[in-house]
């Protein structure tokens, strides 16, 4: 046993071999001291029987981890890769490891080639043929010690992290594999500090779930349009730009046969093509017509409303001032409706610049990108009205109900949270605005795509976490974040609902049942 702390242990790290224990301890020493967690590294011996006997003698600790070398089962793993177990299997028993995405993300940020997947504990060394059989059952790697230690962990946070040294095609006892073990020892030293940060983030906490969150009616409609188009017309179905701004949605639809393109020139003539929820300019529709594309329009009806208002204002000769963010697809589509008659304003300072383009006596009207923060857009709209007292705004608020509701909901949790996590992709305007709104009230607010993006240092001392998601984020991703946080200790989940949403939009005729 290597003691790297005092008698009050925060983390016990178990290894089978002395060389593994020394490597982990060597990596940990520079990281510890001060307010770092108290860690013990324990050599338990090889095999499940030795590991079980050692587990019975382990001193109390807040968290338990096992690390060391492991054998690959999955073809995608190579010597030097790091597997973080999502679950440990032995016979017909399974021990979940829900914090695995948090650990894997931290290892990736540390520069290590980490991935997640099931780990099997075997009572004996598994050869190539046996490993192929385990792979067919969905396993990624095999070891001989993790299961007894997972059982000993009980309700405590538990992690199993293995550095791959051999594969079904490169068995353990050959010179090449033994050479790889030297590099694996260096990797083990780098794993130690990450495990210490994982232990420091562990503990009981409360999660405040903002509601409404995740998909809105327009996003659900857009995704359903692509799914129905695939069912009706077969793959491939081409989608101009991302159907909604979320990488998980895009990847899922790609697996089903959707092909996402940036330009219609990439689409074969006559192919089925879906326009994204963010809308397109008339020039794009005209190009699709010239090329004979079979178009299904997934533009959100609330975005289509802004397009119609822009056309109405421009038709009577007004300069159309659009409050929004440059480069966003929705902005490009709206301004494309009024060529030569529209100008983009991103902030209050931009109003003065826009004023230079208004001849004396010309009317001014303003519109708003649907996914902006309401308070930010309100300040810019007020600046427009001060500069142009007769300026006319939209009929009703352009900012969509879902954006407004999610901003109200995140405010309801941010003031009570040590940390707010907003789940959404970095190109989602809706999710970015939620993060900005949360940051005005919470000590720390961060945008994440999934649990792997959560830095463990954010969680240290954060006993109340606010959680929400942009309107283009699947609810399953939020569930994954909650599950990962639950792997760090007891979790109390409380939903804060500010309103109910019951909006539904009809589907285009091309994909209706």
Q: Which residues are catalytic?
A: 330
Q: Residue 389 is encoded by which pair of tokens? A: 């007292």
CA dihedral 242, 246, 248, 253 (to 10 degrees): -30
**Burial profile 418-442: b = 16 or more Cβ within 10 angstroms, e = fewer:** bbbbbbbbeebbbbbbbbbbbbebb
**Dist. CA 507–CA 51, nearest whole Å:** 59
In degrees and rounded to multiples of 5, residue 65 shows phi and psi of -135, 150
Cα 189 from chain centroid? 28
Q: How deeply is 339 buried, as exposed, middle or buried, from its count of CB atoms within 10 A (0-12, 13-18, 19+)?
A: exposed
Q: Residue 223 is encoded by which pair of tokens? A: 């995704």
Give the chain's end-to-end CA distance (angstroms, integer): 66
- How are beta strands 272-275 and 237-240 bridged, if at all? parallel
Hey, which bits of 97-235 come out as E strands?
Answer: 114-121, 141-143, 158-166, 205-211
Long-range contacts of 345-353 (CB under 8 A, 24+ apart): 345/321, 345/380, 345/384, 346/380, 347/380, 348/379, 348/380, 348/383, 350/380, 351/321, 351/380, 351/383, 351/384, 351/387, 352/387
Answer whether 505's CB lies under 8 Å from 221's CB.
yes
DSSP string computed for 403-456 = HHHHHHHHHHHHTT-SEEEEES-TT-HHHHHHHHHHHTTSS-EEEESSGGG--H
User: Which of helix, strand or coil describes residue 368?
Assistant: strand
In degrees and rounded to multiples of 5, residue 146 shows phi and psi of -65, -40
Backbone CA torsion sign across 200, 203, 206, 208 = positive
Query: What order of strands is seen across the sheet that includes strand 258-261?
Result: 258-261, 237-240, 272-275, 294-297
Measured CA angle at 163 (ends 162, 168), to 5 deg? 95
Answer whether 345's CB lies under 8 Å from 298's CB.
no
In degrees and rounded to multiples of 5, residue 222 shows phi and psi of -60, -45
**Dist. CA 228–CA 224, nearest whole Å:** 6
């Amino acid at each position: 046993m290597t003691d790297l702390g005092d008698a009050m242990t925060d983390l016990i790290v178990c290894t089978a071999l002395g060389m593994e224990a020394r490597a982990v301890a060597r990596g940990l020493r520079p990281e510890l001291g001060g307010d770092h967690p108290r860690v013990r590294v324990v050599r338990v011996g090889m095999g499940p029987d030795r590991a079980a006997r050692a587990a019975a003698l382990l001193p109390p600790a807040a968290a338990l981890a096992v690390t060391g070398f492991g054998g690959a089962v999955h073809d995608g793993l190579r010597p030097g890769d790091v597997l973080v177990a999502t679950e440990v299997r032995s016979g017909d028993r399974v021990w979940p490891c829900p914090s695995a995405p948090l650990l894997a993300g931290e290892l990736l940020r540390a520069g290590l080639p980490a991935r997640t997947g099931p780990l099997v504990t075997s009572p004996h060394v598994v050869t190539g043929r046996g490993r192929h059989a385990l792979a067919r059952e969905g396993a990624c790697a095999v070891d001989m010690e993790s299961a007894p230690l997972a059982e000993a962990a009980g309700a405590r946070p538990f992690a199993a992290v293995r550095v791959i040294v051999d594969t079904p095609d490169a068995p353990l006892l050959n010179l090449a594999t033994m050479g790889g073990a030297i590099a694996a020892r260096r990797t083990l030293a780098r794993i130690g500090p990450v495990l210490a940060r994982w232990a420091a983030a562990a503990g009981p906490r409360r999660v405040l779930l903002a509601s409404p969150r995740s998909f809105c009616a327009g996003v659900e409609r857009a995704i359903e349009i692509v799914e129905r188009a695939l069912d009706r017309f077969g793959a491939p179905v081409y989608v101009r730009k991302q159907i909604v701004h979320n990488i998980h949605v895009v990847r899922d639809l790609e697996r089903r046969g959707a092909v996402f393109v940036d330009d219609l020139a990439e689409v074969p003539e006559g192919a089925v093509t879906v326009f994204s929820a963010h809308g397109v300019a008339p020039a794009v529709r005209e190009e699709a017509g010239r090329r004979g594309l079979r178009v299904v329009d997934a533009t959100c009806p609330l975005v289509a409303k802004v397009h119609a208002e822009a056309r109405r204002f421009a038709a009577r000769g007004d300069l159309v001032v659009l409050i929004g963010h440059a480069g966003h697809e929705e902005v490009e589509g709206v301004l494309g409706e009024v060529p030569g008659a529209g100008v983009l304003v991103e902030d209050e300072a931009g109003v003065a610049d826009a004023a230079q383009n208004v001849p004396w006596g010309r009317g001014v009207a303003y519109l708003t990108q649907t996914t902006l923060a309401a308070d930010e857009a309100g300040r810019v709209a007020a600046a427009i009205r001060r500069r142009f007292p007769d300026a006319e705004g939209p009929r009703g608020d352009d900012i969509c109900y879902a954006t407004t509701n999610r901003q109200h909901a995140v405010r309801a949790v941010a003031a009570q949270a040590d940390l707010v996590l907003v789940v959404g992709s970095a190109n989602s305007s809706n999710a970015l605005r939620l993060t900005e709104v949360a940051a005005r009230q919470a000590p720390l607010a961060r945008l994440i795509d999934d649990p792997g993006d959560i830095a463990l240092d954010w969680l240290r001392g954060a006993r109340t976490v606010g959680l929400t998601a942009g309107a283009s984020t699947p609810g399953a991703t939020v569930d994954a974040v909650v599950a990962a946080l639950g792997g760090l200790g007891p979790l109390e989940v409380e939903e804060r609902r500010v309103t109910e949403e019951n909006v539904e939009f009809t589907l285009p005729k091309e994909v209706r049942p």
